Amino acid sequence: MALPTLVTEHWYDLRDLSNLSREILEGADKILPHGIVYVLAALIGFVASFLIFVLPSQLIVGVYGERKLIGRMQSRYGPNRVGPFGLLQPIADAIKLMQKEALTPKGADRAVMYLAPIIFVAPAVLLFAVIPFGPKMILADINPALLYFLAVSSLPVLAAFMAGWSANNKYSLFGAMRIVAMSISYEVPLVLALLGVVLFTGTTSLQEMVLWQKHFDIWIVFLQPLALAIYFIAVSAELNRTPTDIAEAESEIVAGYLTEYSGMKWGLFYGMDIGYALAASAFAATVFLGGWSMFGLDKWVPPWMIIIGKTHLFYFVFIWTRGTLPRLRIDQLMAFAWKFMLPVALLNLVLVATERMLWVEQELDDSYLYIFAVVNIWAALGAIWAWSRFLGYRPERNPVRARLVNEAGGYVPVPEAAKGGK
Amino acid sequence: MPTREWTGEEVAAAAERLVPGSVARTTAGACYLKAEKLVEAIEALRSSPDTDFVHLTNLCGVDYWDHFEVVYHLQSFVRNQICCLKIEVWDREKAVAPSVVPVFHGAWMQECEAYDLLGIRFEGHPNLHRIFLWEGYPGWPLRKDFLSMPGGLQPGLNEFAGTARRPEPATRLVQ
Amino acid sequence: MTDAIKTEPFVLNIGPQHPSTHGVFRIKVTVDGEKVLDAEMVMGYLHRSMEKLAEERTYTQNIPFTDRTDYLSSMANNLGYCLAVEKLAGIGVPARGDAIRVIMAELQRLASHCMAVGAFTNDTGAWQTPVMWAFREREKILDIFEMTCGARLTCNYMRIGGVAFDLPAAFEPAVRKLLRELVPFIDEMEGLLVGNEIFLARTRGVGVLTPEQATNASLSGPLLRGSGIAWDLRKADPYCGYEQYDFDIPIGYQGDSFDRFIVRIEEMRQSIKIIKQALDGLPGGPHSTQVPLALRPPQGEAYARVEGSRGELGYYLVSDDGPSPYRFHIRAPSFINLSALKEMTVGGTVADAIVVLGSIDVVVGEIDR
């Protein structure tokens, strides 16, 4: 698919910032030696990505916004002391963390323990390379971008395992064991859900997926709501976000694999946790929510603003679930992955494959996509209803109000009707 | 309707009927049992339907300078009644009382507490240990002569320990 | 293959510094992977030897000690101790004093159950949100305590023979306003949690206690009622005129952690009902009888108990005709409720053990005393 001609090549067209940087670098190339131009390019890239993505997303939304929003959900204020509205709180935190001593417990494997945060950081940065921020604002427009994303995003599990294993702490070991077991389980439905998207769009390039959604003017979330649901649950399990944060479950195993970390070693884990969540949100926004396209609005609004907005919208859902839901037990999470997510992902795949075949073989009209969307939304609702019906607890069978008796005495037998069950 | 508190005589009559020869003496509020018959009597009071003392609500020891008493409060839910049983332990050096853990699981921790603070050793307890203080703590804090016990504990902090020994409190006996 | 991989159980220390032990309490769990094989309790980190200290102080001076045993329900502790002394010395309490005591004890039960419900949901992993919501309501109750007696947590409000001060004029409207706000809060909290699939999955069938086990382990309070035994001292052995008020005893079904949770929620509703009745029928007259400061009860002993927030809170006092108690024993519900911890945790997972501990609702100040 050819690039649409919406972006002019002028430097002042801020809808795609790559024009500006190209102009600057081409101009500099004429008067400066090559070495300095490389440095300049790196500097521009760093400053631009910091101003556009890292500052608003990582620091303001990721650290400050999350704390502020969770604070409001918990009926308290959240950070409000450092700077205006507490906006400088993340910076103050970072300074504090750098000053703190990074302790290494006695008996820990020092080398592995130091290596783990570093290994944890690198993939988080690499992940953003394939996210398209605009028609041409993409660092590496590689064809197997989706596979690249999946491969790189399973790397931090290794770092988390190293962190938990090396710390010589039983809580850390528990966390490491849990995260490895869980990410293996959740990788399967995650990939199966994304396979449906690949099947429908016929590409593994993220840029082409965006263009596909732009071309047909329909987001994949409408075509495959079930895939988005599976992706969201599976990715929140891999990212250790509540309700599936069993690897660092605070009330059970203190902080899981992070228990023995302090100072900036901990800070890297904390910061990059947010980085992974943002990368997963950006990926979901690209694959399911149309990326930088917005039903023609991207002609007027810079596309990078659109995708950042979508990323933050998705990230807000992460914050929301974190602020509201209790945590599942590990065996329940495993059962959920294998007993519910895997069959539903397969069901989704079968449905999508059938629709795709019909669409291509019968050479159907584009408007059939909307019919597929209606069918798939109903299928998603049906799957969720069936789950709550057959697998979940049924409130009408299980009493949720205590019985009331007026006289003190001994044991009051439970009436047969209120015995309940699954 | 308030809980009926059994008088000592009532408990004694019931205990004597269920386990003959188990009652030592009675007072107005409590029934003193013989230590060697205690477990048997409590088991009988628990399982007999007209006493039905199924719930051991309180267990504690009291130091009376020359002897200890172990106090048991038992209650029944269905009959809404409570009674007070006691045994006396006269040997202060080797204070031993029978354990009621085989009858009431709830006595487990309360007997540990009485052992820890008063030094009454409950014979037959599965895991009698000092529950609040550490093993090897000198003396038994709730005994009345705790501060003149071997181990040399003095009131105050160690670095400001008084040189003059604290005068022995006057012996106060409860009849 | 299975012979080649050797596994052995290991010991995991939950506590004394752990986010979910509600203080400095320690459980040594022997685990095989996630499964709990054995659980042993270690306590005493907060032991202050209150029973010994109380033997050196007069009866009135001991009231502040009782605040500091179960620091989340100081009013109930005051009340239990004062009832024991009154029983020992044969002192009566005027009707207004009794009514004020009932109101205060029930407000304290509301505050304590707010904390219990919030902390329990925190243990299931609902990250701080329910506990902060519950804290918000608890703050309002503590404000009322502050208005009445000047202290929020360790109130020291009950006196032998009545209460320390009469109620201020602003008390009644403030309590009525509070009760109006609490009713929707309880409904909201209940609706959010009992309708939550994850919460149900975590608490249903976890830490089941049969009625026989609960009775034999000397349990009391919501644990006993959660197992289906209708035993509430306010009904069974009324004190302070509880027989005048119309309320019910909530009991559970199968004795799991969820049943204890719904029993607590329902008890909050019943408490509101009692406070409303007590406020409506608040008698006039003196709030306290005159009791000599150096009280010397006659020789004898007394065991008085109240239905505290965590169960039967008993005080066993022995007097030798002196100005201070000869023996002062607290039947601490948190401590004795822990008797059944091992039965409830063994066989579950580590995560279940945390939920069970949360459902017992321990206060370490009361365990260690």
Q: Give residue limits of the domains in chain A.
A: 110-390
* pLDDT exceeds 70 at position C150: yes
Arithmetic mean of pLDDT, C89-100: 89
Q: Which of C122, C235, C252 sits opposite A251 (nearest CB)?
A: C122
Q: Which of C127, C228, C254 sits opposite A411 (nearest CB)?
A: C228
Q: Which of A252, A398, A402 sits opposite C354 (nearest CB)?
A: A252
Q: Is residue C139, in this structure, part of any structural domain at all?
A: yes
Please tell me which chains touch C, using 3 or more CB pairs under 8 Å as the contact test.
Answer: A, B
Q: Is residue C130, in this structure, part of any structural domain at all?
A: yes
The band of A11, judged by pLDDT with boundaries at 50, 70 and 90, is low
What percentage of chain C has pLDDT greater than the value 70?
Answer: 99
| Contact flag A403-C253 (C-beta cutoff 8 Å) | yes
What is the separation, in whole angstroms, between the first and last Cα of chain A? Answer: 52
- Other beta carbons within 10 angstroms of residue A49's beta carbon come to 16
Which of B3, B55, B75, B78 best probes binding to A when mutated, by most A CB atoms within 10 angstroms?
B78
* pLDDT exceeds 60 at position A133: yes
The residue behind tokens 């490895």 is A180
- Taking the Cβ of residue A143 and every Cβ of chain C, the question of whether any pair is shorter than 8 Å is answered with no
| Nearest to C235, CA basis, from B57, B7, A405 | A405
Question: Rounded CA gap, A409 and B2, in Å?
Answer: 12
Arithmetic mean of pLDDT, B154-166: 49
> B4-152, what's its fold?
Beta Polymerase; domain 2 (3.30.460)
C204 contact residues in A (CB cutoff 8 A) = 393, 398
Q: Nearest C-alpha of chain B: how many angstroms from A410?
A: 5
| Nearest to A132, CA basis, from A282, A22, A316, A297 | A282
* pLDDT exceeds 70 at position A418: no
- pLDDT at C106 (0 to 100): 92
Residues 6+ apart with CB under 8 A from C324: C54, C55, C56, C57, C58, C59, C61, C62
Question: Rounded CA gap, A148 and C52, in Å?
Answer: 69
- pLDDT at A8 (0 to 100): 62
| Contact flag C230-A410 (C-beta cutoff 8 Å) | yes
The band of C175, judged by pLDDT with boundaries at 50, 70 and 90, is very high
Arithmetic mean of pLDDT, B57-81: 88
B30 contact residues in C (CB cutoff 8 A) = 301
Arithmetic mean of pLDDT, A363-389: 80
Which of C28, C123, C127 best probes binding to A when mutated, by most A CB atoms within 10 angstroms?
C127
Arithmetic mean of pLDDT, A286-305: 81
* pLDDT exceeds 50 at position B163: no
| Contact flag A249-C125 (C-beta cutoff 8 Å) | yes
How many domains would you assign to chain C? 1
Report helix angle A225-238 to A263-287, nearest 10: 170
* pLDDT exceeds 50 at position B175: no
| Contact flag C354-A322 (C-beta cutoff 8 Å) | no
* pLDDT exceeds 80 at position B174: no
Q: Environment class of residue B50 by beta-carbon count within 10 Å: exposed (0-12), middle (13-18) or buried (19+)?
A: exposed
Element (H, E) at C36: strand C35-42
- pLDDT at A14 (0 to 100): 66
Structure tokens given for A84: 């205006």
The tens digit of pLDDT for each residue in A89-130 reads: 888 888 898 898 888 888 888 888 888 888 888 888 888 888
- pLDDT at B152 (0 to 100): 53
- pLDDT at A397 (0 to 100): 65
A76 contact residues in C (CB cutoff 8 A) = 132
Arithmetic mean of pLDDT, C258-262: 90
DSSP 8-state symbol, B158: G
Q: The CATH number of the domain where C342 resides is what?
A: 1.10.645.10
The band of C316, judged by pLDDT with boundaries at 50, 70 and 90, is very high
For residue C48, what is the nearest residue in chain B, using CA coordinates?
A: B132
A408 contact residues in B (CB cutoff 8 A) = 77, 80
Arithmetic mean of pLDDT, B54-75: 89
Q: Mean pLDDT for chain B?
A: 80
Q: Is residue C60, in this structure, part of any structural domain at all?
A: yes
Q: Do β-strands C35-42 and C158-159 pair in parallel, antiparallel, or remain unpaired?
A: unpaired
Domain ranges of chain B: 4-152
- pLDDT at A105 (0 to 100): 85
Question: Rounded CA gap, A20 and A15, in Å?
Answer: 10
Q: Mean pLDDT for chain C?
A: 87
**Position with higher pLDDT, A205 vs A62:** A205
* pLDDT exceeds 60 at position A293: yes
- Its pTM stands at 0.85
Q: Which of C237, C331, C368 sits opposite B2 (nearest CB)?
A: C237
* pLDDT exceeds 80 at position A51: no
The answer, yes or no, to whether ipTM is higher than 0.85 is: no
Q: Mean pLDDT for chain A?
A: 82
The band of A1, judged by pLDDT with boundaries at 50, 70 and 90, is very low
Which range of residues forms the domain containing residue C197?
49-368
B80 contact residues in A (CB cutoff 8 A) = 408-409
Q: Environment class of residue C171 by beta-carbon count within 10 Å: exposed (0-12), middle (13-18) or buried (19+)?
A: middle
- Taking the Cβ of residue B54 and every Cβ of chain C, the question of whether any pair is shorter than 8 Å is answered with yes
The band of C263, judged by pLDDT with boundaries at 50, 70 and 90, is very high
B78 contact residues in A (CB cutoff 8 A) = 409-410
**Position with higher pLDDT, C97 vs B65:** C97
| Nearest to B132, CA basis, from B124, B140, B121 | B140
Comparing B165-174, C53-62, C98-107, C257-266, the range with the smallest average pLDDT is B165-174
Arithmetic mean of pLDDT, C221-234: 89
The band of B48, judged by pLDDT with boundaries at 50, 70 and 90, is confident
Q: Nearest C-alpha of chain C: how many angstroms from A281?
A: 21
Q: Is residue C105, in this structure, part of any structural domain at all?
A: yes
- pLDDT at A31 (0 to 100): 83
Arithmetic mean of pLDDT, A229-253: 82
Residues 6+ apart with CB under 8 A from A99: none
- Taking the Cβ of residue B80 and every Cβ of chain A, the question of whether any pair is shorter than 8 Å is answered with yes
The tens digit of pLDDT for each residue in A319-364 reads: 888 888 888 888 888 888 888 888 888 888 888 888 888 887 777 7
Q: Is residue C3, in this structure, part of any structural domain at all?
A: no
Q: Which of C122, C126, C195 sits opposite A395 (nearest CB)?
A: C195
- pLDDT at A394 (0 to 100): 64
* pLDDT exceeds 80 at position C2: no
The tens digit of pLDDT for each residue in C268-314 reads: 999 999 999 999 988 888 888 888 777 888 888 889 989 888 888 99
- Taking the Cβ of residue A341 and every Cβ of chain C, the question of whether any pair is shorter than 8 Å is answered with no
- Taking the Cβ of residue A258 and every Cβ of chain C, the question of whether any pair is shorter than 8 Å is answered with no
For residue C339, what is the nearest residue in chain B, using CA coordinates?
A: B106
Q: Is residue C122, in this structure, part of any structural domain at all?
A: yes
- pLDDT at B160 (0 to 100): 47
Arithmetic mean of pLDDT, B159-165: 47
